[in-house]
């Protein structure tokens, strides 16, 4: 698949190697025995995301807005000093644009910061981190407005930030902004856009249950749900009749 490549430009301490970080892309997590599994190597990347606002509104405590699983590696040349080219990844700076309409000024669309932790060096050269690309507060504001035109994706600009130890002390480094498109929908992953249209539990015998996204329930992957009273049960929690 097409890789998303973003370059982090250094200043000062490593002028001879201006490219410091190469972000490979937004990984597609796997669902294993432990649930959410993110591995640096051998995983496909996603070039556009999908967030079901209706599903998010039904399960806000189980969804974290939209998450990206960003794979990156060091582009610096190895040196005799293992600490010289060591980059401490500290966060991601996020801005959201091309929204369907203007939101309440109290809901910021720029300046969101996600705290990250991890190190990149020129020996191991790989790292994968979860980045909250669309914050929960902004996702909630979008989900609450039923009149939104969801035809076009919104655009999420983000950059990775970090620090690096140089000859003259610690230097703050960052990547250029990269853009990730995110499509919004209402009910496309759950198969219903109103609560009463969700099938009642138990689901008919023989129903094939889609388990959904292994890391964040309201994004990217279809999921099977049923309603039980005023609640819904999804994925492995959705009961299927045996008779």
* pLDDT value at residue 8: 31
pLDDT at 30: 81
Residue in 78, 162, 170 with CA at minimum distance from that of residue 124: 78
pLDDT of residue 121: 78
Q: Which residues of the chain have pLDDT under 70?
A: 1-19, 32-34, 41-42, 75, 82-83, 105-106, 122-125, 166-169
Query: In this predicted structure, what is the pLDDT of residue 234?
Result: 94
Give me the pLDDT at residue 82, please: 65
Q: Say what the pLDDT of residue 4 is.
A: 37
Confirm if 120 and 86 have CB atoms less than 8 A apart: yes
Distance CA 50, CA 221 (A): 8
d(CA 218, CA 94): 20
126 phi-psi bin (left φ>0, alpha ψ -120 to 50, beta other):
beta
């Amino acid at each position: 698949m097409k890789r998303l490549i973003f370059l982090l430009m250094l200043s000062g301490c490593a002028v001879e190697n201006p490219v410091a970080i190469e972000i490979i892309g937004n990984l597609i997590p796997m669902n294993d025995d432990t649930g959410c599994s993110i591995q640096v190597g051998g995983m496909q990347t996603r070039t556009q995301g999908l967030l079901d606002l209706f599903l998010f509104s039904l399960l806000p405590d189980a969804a974290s807005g939209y998450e990206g699983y960003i794979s990156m590696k060091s582009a610096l040349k190895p040196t005799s000093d293992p600490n010289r080219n060591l980059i401490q990844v500290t966060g991601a700076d996020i801005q959201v644009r091309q929204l369907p309409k203007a939101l309440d000024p109290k809901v910021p669309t720029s300046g969101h910061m996600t705290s990250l932790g991890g190190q990149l060096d020129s020996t191991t050269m790989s790292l994968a981190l979860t980045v909250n690309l669309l914050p929960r507060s902004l996702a909630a504001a979008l989900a609450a407005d039923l009149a939104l035109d969801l035809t076009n994706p919104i655009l999420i600009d983000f950059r990775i930030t970090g620090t690096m130890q140089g000859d003259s002390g610690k230097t703050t480094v960052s990547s250029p902004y990269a853009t990730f498109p995110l499509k919004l929908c209402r009910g496309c992953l759950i198969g219903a856009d109103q609560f009463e249209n969700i099938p009642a539990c138990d689901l008919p015998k023989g129903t094939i249950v889609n388990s959904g996204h292994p890391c964040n329930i309201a994004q990217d992957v279809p999921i099977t749900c049923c309603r039980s009273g005023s609640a819904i049960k999804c994925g492995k929690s959705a009961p299927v009749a045996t008779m």
